[in-house]
Amino acid sequence: MRTLYWYFTFGFTLLMKIPQYYMVDTSSASDIHRVTAGWAKGCLRRAGVTLHVEGTENVPRDEAVVFVANHQGNFDIPTMMATLPVPHGYIAKIETLKIPVVRDWMRYMKCVFIDRKNIRQTAKALLEGIEILKGGHSLVLFPEGTRSKSSTMGEFKPASFKLATKAKAPIVPVSISGTFRVMETNNSKIKPADVYVKIHPAIRTDDLEDLPGLPERVKAVIASALPPARP
């Protein structure tokens, strides 16, 4: 019943956001953040998610950053939307452009859409992301590229870190734990779960000319706040 209820309210609340889409001040990143964060909190609440968050004081308020997080499940994005205290967009799969209403709000949030099958489009999207960061707007990146559906992290794709190094934007590692228990371990049925988020101190990239060591360094920081992987 919870799963049916959640999907019904997901669609209903999206429809209710359509009038707000035309009324919100598109020039105000804080207004867009307020609306989208509130919507995400509702999605988590109806799913029975209990959030435990620490480290919000580590988020710089005076410059754009790249939030780099591990990717356990579908509920990672609403979790990030609900917990990050500053306006931000996402590096997202181009397939999300097929979802009505969602794609429009994602454009408002300055999300960047990547087609992994098209190298030229990926390079173009990277340049778009760099310009967004230079313009003062933060972005969220999941360098695993896909959900692990468990407490075990996959490999981090080094190329994705060029987004931060080319823009000279700080990287803020974020550890997410428990989102896969909301859906992925339940045969896609939604069940209540505790989700833990830890935001770590920023890693400067101003003096970094290349990538060696950076992905593993960030991965180690994220792993430090995750429970040991279970068999």
Give the burial class of 210: count Cβ atoms within 10 A of its Cβ; 0-12 exposed, 13-18 middle, 19 or more buried: exposed
Single-letter amino acid code for the residue at 225: A
Does residue 131 carry a pLDDT above 50?
Answer: yes
56-65, 113-122, 187-196: which range is least confident on average? 113-122
The predicted structure's pLDDT at residue 176: 98
Q: Encode pLDDT of 62-76 as tens digits.
A: 999 999 999 999 999
Q: Which of 212, 178, 217, 205 shows the shortest CA–CA distance to 75?
A: 178
Task: Concatenate the DSSP letters of all residues of 93-152 into one string.
Answer: EGGGGGSTTHHHHHHHTT-EEE-TT-HHHHHHHHHHHHHHHHTT-EEEE-TT-S--SSSS
Does residue 231 carry a pLDDT above 50?
Answer: no
Q: How confident is the model at residue 210 (pLDDT cuts 50, 70, 90)?
A: low
Q: How confident is the model at residue 206 (pLDDT cuts 50, 70, 90)?
A: confident
Q: How confident is the model at residue 204 (pLDDT cuts 50, 70, 90)?
A: very high
Single-letter amino acid code for the residue at 37: A
Using CA atoms, how far apart are residues 157 and 106, in angstroms rounded to an integer? 23
The predicted structure's pLDDT at residue 186: 93
Average pLDDT along the chain: 92
* Domains of the chain, start order: 2-223 (3.40.1130)
Does residue 199 carry a pLDDT above 70?
Answer: yes
